[in-house]
Amino acid sequence: MIDRVLQAIDSHRDQSIESLCDFLRIPSVSTQLEHKSDMHRCAEWLGKQLEGCGLKVEIAATGGHPVVLAKNEHRPGRPTVLIYGHYDVQPPEPLDLWKTPAFEPTIRKNEAGVDAVYARGAVDDKGQVWCHVEAIRAWQQQGGLPINVTFLIEGEEEIGSIHLDEFIKTHKAELKADIAVVSDTNQFARGWPAITYGLRGLVYMEVFITAADHDLHSGMFGGAVPNPANVLCELLATLHDPDGRVNLPGFYDDVAELTPREREEFARLPFDEAEFKNELKLTELYGETGYTTLERRWARPTCDINGLTGGYQGHGAKTVIASKASAKVSMRLVPNQDPKKIETAFKQALIDRCPKGVQIEFQSHGGSPGLVVPIDGRAMELAAKAIERGFGKKPVFMREGGSIPILGLIKQELGLDTLLIGFGLPDDRVHSPNEKFDLDAFYAGTRTAAALYEELSRL
Ligand code: BES
Ligand code: ZN
């Protein structure tokens, strides 16, 4: 049966790319209010496509953007697989850096000379969701899926899944499954498909410094009044020590340390630091002393300024002491660190370090814990077989540094472990201009998804 399904996938390639491009044309930017109606349009469009595959679809309202929920006919005695993904995308800005427009998907050769589709969301996560849609379509055309599938595609992953918590808590029965499957991660490298068994968590904070009630001439007042931008810079400069460690009291207290075995396994992966630097056009790397680059990216907690504002931003010079300054700071967490505790430590440290005479305020943009899933289970074994079928190569096991905020809750509320089986590549420029998805990764991903459903039917 699987052979016929894979053949159907192969003969449907051109149409599958066309439909993916239709998906990519909808500017479903979850964080920008002006795209609210595009979010609805995107959910409806996806729902229609899934209906076309013979699934029963519900577009469920939440306190924010809608959730697309779809199921085949569930039969007793078969394993149920919850496939989670997201149809929302990151903002496309800065627009002038796109070689072709973000929401006009274009197929052209990438830097490695391979065909790829370029668009915002190409790989994160519409393209990877589409691998599953095409795999489901093929199975349905060949007589039906061998497992019970619940497809849960949300519209708020890129803004921390703020309303999905509530949805999951109130739809537990509908979401009951044996395992969760997520394709929203990467291969280790071109030619090195992977299963990811760990992700970092996240705490995202914004800090605001204000002083005088209006902007001041920097010649008349400079040196005699507190300058919010100066204060902000002083505070931010305290966040790391000279060893590249995060300088917040208690930050490392609960960190799950890497085991010697895991460090050995990371070291065995074919990671070339010179090539990594070269791809990023960097001459030096940076990070916590005592850890390798892969360890720093995948398994160590970190802190980075993600946005910085204050004072005059226009062309040329303006001599002014602005009355406010602010920064957006994200901290990536590893297992056992508690997002709430880290948020409190961040706030308290900055309050303690803040000089008198300015106001300091915070806004929290949410948090999620780090995650590791067991690698020795039956599902992992089956997933490895599916990858071998889809990519023609055995997978490596790796962790990743990014976050998928809802997975903690999927474990906690639904009791499900997640299989992270992603098809992207490290050079796909996710969250950046010129995001892309290699077409051969898209095809191999679709074949892998189809093979995975067959493998998981043995669970
Ligand atoms: N697909 C990514 C998660 C990811 C990134 C996995 C890199 C593996 C490697 C996901 O869509 C994402 O970007 N998540 C956000 C979550 C945040 C906005 C709460 C992230 O990690 O920044
Ligand atoms: Zn994503």
Instruction: Give pLDDT, residue 123.
Output: 98
**Ligand 1 mean position, distance from CA 404 (Å):** 6
Mutate to test the pocket of ligand 1, among 158, 163, 197, 398 (most ligand atoms within 8 A of CB): 158
Which residue in the block uniquely carries the two structure tokens 């459903």? 453
Whole-model pTM? 0.95
Range 173-200 average pLDDT: 98
**Ligand 1 mean position, distance from CA 369 (Å):** 13
| Ligand whose nearest atom lies closest to the CA of 203 | 1
Atom of ligand 1 nearest to the CA of 431: 13
Instruction: Give pLDDT, residue 423.
Output: 98
Average confidence score pLDDT of the chain: 97
- Dist. CA 208–CA 172, nearest whole Å: 39
The answer, yes or no, to whether any atom of ligand 1 lies below 6 A from the CB of 92, is: no
pLDDT tens, residue by residue, 203-224: 999 999 999 999 999 999 999 9
Atom of ligand 1 nearest to the CA of 403: 21
Range 151-157 average pLDDT: 98
**Ligand 1 mean position, distance from CA 406 (Å):** 11
Instruction: Give pLDDT, residue 294.
Output: 98
Instruction: Give pLDDT, residue 307.
Output: 96
Instruction: Give pLDDT, residue 46.
Output: 98
pLDDT > 70 fraction of the chain, expressed in percent and rounded = 100
The answer, yes or no, to whether any atom of ligand 1 lies below 6 A from the CB of 160, is: yes
The answer, yes or no, to whether any atom of ligand 1 lies below 6 A from the CB of 402, is: yes
**Ligand 1 mean position, distance from CA 155 (Å):** 13
- Looking at the DSSP assignment, which residues form a beta bridge with residue 59? 68
pLDDT tens, residue by residue, 343-381: 999 999 999 999 999 999 999 999 999 999 999 999 999
Contact 261, 252 (CB under 8 A): no
**Ligand 2 mean position, distance from CA 126 (Å):** 8
The answer, yes or no, to whether any atom of ligand 1 lies below 6 A from the CB of 202, is: yes
Which residue type does 281 have?
K
**Ligand 1 mean position, distance from CA 331 (Å):** 13
Mutate to test the pocket of ligand 1, among 157, 398, 425 (most ligand atoms within 8 A of CB): 157
| Ligand whose nearest atom lies closest to the CA of 424 | 1
Burial environment of residue 313 by CB neighbours within 10 A (0 to 12, 13 to 18, 19 or more) = exposed
Contact 417, 180 (CB under 8 A): yes
Could you tell me the pLDDT band of residue 132, with boundaries at 50, 70 and 90?
very high
- Dist. CA 10–CA 22, nearest whole Å: 20
Instruction: Give pLDDT, residue 331.
Output: 98
Which residue in the block uniquely carries the two structure tokens 């992977």? 194
- Dist. CA 5–CA 8, nearest whole Å: 5
Range 410-430 average pLDDT: 97
Atom of ligand 1 nearest to the CA of 401: 9
Task: Tell me how long the chain is.
Answer: 459
Domain ranges in the chain are 2-199+370-456, 201-255+301-368, 259-297
Closest CA to 207 of 77, 325, 87: 325
Q: Which long-range contacts (CB under 8 A, 24 or more apart) does 378-381 make?
A: 378/459, 379/179, 379/417, 379/419, 379/456, 379/459, 380/195, 380/197, 380/419
Strands 115-118 and 106-109: antiparallel
- Dist. CA 312–CA 83, nearest whole Å: 47
Say yes or no: domain 2-199+370-456 is CATH 3.40.630.10: yes
For the domain bounded by 201-255+301-368, which CATH number is listed? 3.30.70.360
Which residue type does 234 have?
E
Could you tell me the pLDDT band of residue 199, with boundaries at 50, 70 and 90?
very high
Range 187-205 average pLDDT: 97
Range 288-316 average pLDDT: 98
Phi, psi of 253 (to 5 degrees): -50, -45
Instruction: Give pLDDT, residue 432.
Output: 97
Instruction: Give pLDDT, residue 264.
Output: 97
Largest CA distance in the chain: 80
Closest CA to 455 of 350, 378, 369: 378
pLDDT tens, residue by residue, 256-265: 999 999 999 9
pLDDT tens, residue by residue, 54-99: 999 999 999 999 999 999 999 999 999 999 999 999 999 999 999 9
Q: Which residues of 185-200 are buried (b: 16+ CB within 10 A; e: fewer)?
A: bbbbbeebbbbbbbbb
Range 97-120 average pLDDT: 97
| Ligand whose nearest atom lies closest to the CA of 201 | 1
Instruction: Give pLDDT, residue 441.
Output: 98
- Dist. CA 149–CA 343, nearest whole Å: 37
Instruction: Give pLDDT, residue 162.
Output: 92
